[in-house]
Chain A
Amino acid sequence: MSKRAAPVEPEQEAQEVDVPSDPASEDDLIQRATADRSAGRDTAHQVEELVQLAAKRNKAALDRLAK
């Protein structure tokens, strides 16, 4: 049986990537991610940023869904 890694707090992971806080940076991130994904380029890091940004923007709803 393989040993599972210890759970990581979301706040801890959020520090690993630079999540944009202003709309222009967010737009830029979305544009780049969309273009790169459409072109078949690697978007793993952008997805990580977008997911963290989505979690931040929808924190209240996510917290309620977690109850």
Chain B
Amino acid sequence: MNYLTLDDFYQVAAEALGIDLATVRAMTNDTLAGSALAAPAAGFGDHEQYPKFPVKTAVLLQAVASNHALPDGNKRAALLCAVLFANLNGYRWVEPDADDPDGDETAEVVEAVAMRAVPLAALSAWVEDRLEPVPPPPPEILADRPSLVVYPAEYIGDLAYSDNAVELGDLIIRDVHGYNPAGVYVRRISGKTDGISVAEIIISVVGDGYAQEELDAENAEAERYPLGPKEFWRSRLVGKAIYGPDGHPMTNEEFEADWAESQGG
């Protein structure tokens, strides 16, 4: 709950009386004003005397109008305080269509309130008729957010696993199925603002989506290789790729044989 402060009151009084803030501060009885502003928050411990917002607003209107913190203009200040209090707590103050457009009803009610001639329950109902909650702002949609930059996954290295489990320190990832070892990739995802930067760690085994994604990217790169895709793959695999049941580095002959087989030879 956002209660009004003395500075709020000075602003209201300056507007109501058409005078500057310094003059308002000099002429305001701060004790009476402070007492009126605190009235809606009355209570004891956790118990609020006026838990409902329309009642709090009515109490504020009544207290400012009748406490006479200003030598003049207390009723105008009371009305503006009620409206400001509503606004600072997420409400519009809207006169119902049934009200006279010339402000007669509002003025008559505030006059009566200043004379304490309106019961609090009736005033609360009158206030409630004028409070319209401002709808909350629409949720931020993804399209309005700064776009993220997703970088291609970078190959970091291989990770051996046994018994279909990968151990990363204390972390054990089970049910890893594929050819040993698994490829480890890191994909960086960065936001253009707010310093967002996260990394996705991919442990890839042959046959899963990530391996295929990387393979597709490598095939595209191979097609662009000046010496042709065969030489691209030779440079990538011979002496580097682990091959065979004993895990030896792939030889040139093995590469030629595999290449011929992949080309339908």
Q: Residues of A with Cβ closer than 8 Å to B? A: 2, 4-10, 13, 26-31, 33-34, 37-38, 43-44, 47-48, 50-52, 54-55, 57-66
Q: Which residues of B contact A59 (CB under 8 A)?
A: 103
Interface residues of B in 66-115 (CB under 8 A from A): 73, 75-76, 79-80, 83-84, 87-93, 101-104, 106-107, 110-111
B98-139 interface bits toward A, Cβ cutoff 8 Å, 1 = contact, 0 = none: 000111101100110000000000000000000000111100
Given contacts A30-B92, A60-B101, A62-B79, contact A38 B2 (CB under 8 A): yes
A61 touching B26 by the CB < 8 A rule?
Answer: no
10 nearest A-B pairs in the assembled complex, by CB-CB distance? A60-B103, A61-B103, A64-B107, A61-B106, A54-B83, A10-B18, A37-B2, A34-B90, A7-B19, A65-B75
Partner of A26, one of B20, B75, B89, B92: B92
Partner of A51, one of B80, B104, B110: B80
Q: Which of A13, A38, A61 has the most CB of B within 10 A?
A: A61
A43 touching B134 by the CB < 8 A rule?
Answer: no
**How far does the Cβ of B231 sit from chain A's closest Cβ, in whole Å?**
62
Given contacts A54-B80, A55-B80, contact A30 B18 (CB under 8 A): no
Chain A at the B interface: SS class: helix
Q: How many residues of B contact A (CB 8 A)?
A: 40
Chain B at the A interface: SS class: helix
B14-37 interface bits toward A, Cβ cutoff 8 Å, 1 = contact, 0 = none: 111011101100100000000000
A58 touching B106 by the CB < 8 A rule?
Answer: yes
Q: How many A-B residue pairs have CB under 8 A?
A: 113
A60, B103: Cα distance in complex, Å: 5
Q: List 26 A-B contacts (CB under 8 A).
A: A2-B26, A6-B20, A7-B18, A7-B20, A8-B18, A10-B15, A27-B135, A34-B2, A34-B90, A38-B2, A43-B88, A50-B84, A51-B11, A51-B12, A52-B15, A54-B83, A54-B84, A55-B16, A58-B80, A60-B101, A61-B79, A62-B79, A62-B103, A64-B102, A64-B104, A65-B75
Q: Which residues of A contact B7 (CB under 8 A)?
A: 44, 47
Q: Which residues of A contact B136 (CB under 8 A)?
A: 31
Given contacts A2-B26, A48-B11, A57-B93, contact A62 B102 (CB under 8 A): no
